[in-house]
Amino acid sequence: MVVEDDDDYIAELRRIISEFGGQVNTTFVTNRNDAVAKLESDFFDLAILDLKIPTAAGTTDFDSEHGKYVFHHVRSVTPGTKILVLTGSPSDDFIAPLLAQKHVSDIWSEGAKVDTVEFLRKIDIDQAPEKIGRVVSAIHALSEIELQTNGLNLSTGEDRLVRIFAKHFHAVTCRIYPIGAGKSGARPLRLQMFDQTGAPIREVVAKLGELPQMQDEDARYDAHVVLLDGAATPRKMKLLEFGAGAMAGIFYQLASGHDASMFKTMAEEDELAAKAVAATADALDGWSKGRNQERRSIASIRAQWVSDDWAAKLHADYGLAWAKDFESRQVQTRWCSVHGDLHGENILVSSGGGVLVIDYGDVGFGAAAYDPMTLELSAVLQDNPTRGPDWPTADACRQWHNLEMYLVGCPMPEFIRACRSWSEKLMVGQRELAACAYSYLLRQLKYPDTDKDRILALLDGVHACWDGS
């Protein structure tokens, strides 16, 4: 995108860009408002910004503040986009704060770091071909990588991120497969990369989403996941923050052989799924081992996953008259690091029952039993191929607190037993179990595409669990 109001410079930039032979799709705008609108709707690898521009088409209120507004909007809305600032001003005073926001990064895996923000005086416009050409060459080089998408539709940002990552490891081919997603909005993918001889380089789990979300997951990984045994938690390989507009990506090393999700395993072989649950418990044991008990309200346990405002709304919308009093109760718990979103698509299983735990966007502190409760209940509420209308029935859900009655007619009883056994190993008592199940179910009640009747029936079972303890 070129933001420029001077006809002579527009003509010169058109001429420069035309010399790249149709390799560049360019959007020209002349004012602040049109630039902001385009940034919010289109994808750009490079933004060329004149600073002294008007607010809207047909106005004459030229001011460098309008150009700086666009600059900050680029940084806010599409932070991975490289910026080239053009100015005719002889003073550098107002440029320094803009340049202070630059980063130095190997944006497109060229093997050399470049500035994410550059500055060019209009009197030096003859340097523009080199600066624009470097971006064109870098993007063109990325297109040399062959992506085999297996029917997946990638956005431009997702495409950029996969290619940048693959190029960093000198891959010439990259096969892309979906991994079932949760409800965070980020997209998880499995990548298989191959070099020019056809030899495999590495299998990778990629998670692609908005930059703040990926930076947050990166920080959570460094604070919590590094405390675990690396055998079942993939090593973080790279965080890509630039080159993909509003998107960023975090990439993890994937051990070969973990080809099925826990949900898929459960659908095909219940006993193997139960074995994988035990392996998951062992893998995450480092978070809870040695942690002392503490006293906490159920409200504070729930608040890790559902805000107070959301909870009050859900209580009112679904007639949960008992919930306010329930949340005021105190329970004993082990407060420790937890995965926070341990549904069946976030555990990859090998043929022998080994596991790899993925997706760390919700890792943080919580009640120890929250993870096994999430895994157990995700099997009947999320996109599990064994889930269906036959089980659990509403009556079975209301018997959730009585495991043997709950499991009547269950298609994956060993998996459920293994999850419950893991919960019982971690929990201080049945009341903590009820608090964790309640928190997960309220969280699921918030999403528009979940089975509300089943959730409400399960909440009845959870309430009965508390009453019976």
Give the CATH number for residue 191.
Answer: 3.30.200.20
Looking at the 3D structure of the chain, how many domains does it have?
Answer: 3
Q: Which of 223, 239, 254 is the last residue of a domain?
A: 254
Which pLDDT belongs to residue 96? 65
Distances (CA, A) of 267 to 187, 274, 312, 386, 411: 23, 12, 36, 5, 8
d(CA 422, CA 374): 11
Which pLDDT belongs to residue 85? 92
Here the CATH number for the domain that contains residue 322 is 3.90.1200
In a shared domain, residues 88 and 101 = yes
d(CA 220, CA 356): 17
Instruction: Kindly report, residue by residue over 2-34, the tens digit of the pLDDT.
Output: 999 999 999 999 999 999 887 789 999 999 999
Which pLDDT belongs to residue 255? 73
Q: Which H or E run contains 418?
A: helix 413-426
Residue with tokens 């929250």: 370
Question: Could you give the percent of the chain with pLDDT greater than 70?
Answer: 95
In a shared domain, residues 31 and 156 = no
Q: Which residues of the chain have pLDDT under 50?
A: none
The identity of residue 26, as a single letter, is: T
Here the CATH number for the domain that contains residue 59 is 3.40.50.2300
* DSSP code at position 173: E
In a shared domain, residues 284 and 151 = no
Strands of 43-138 (E only): list them. 46-50, 82-87, 104-105, 114-115, 117-121
Which pLDDT belongs to residue 374? 97
- Which residues span the domain enclosing 19? 2-141
d(CA 71, CA 99): 11
d(CA 280, CA 341): 13
Token duo for residue 162: 């996969």
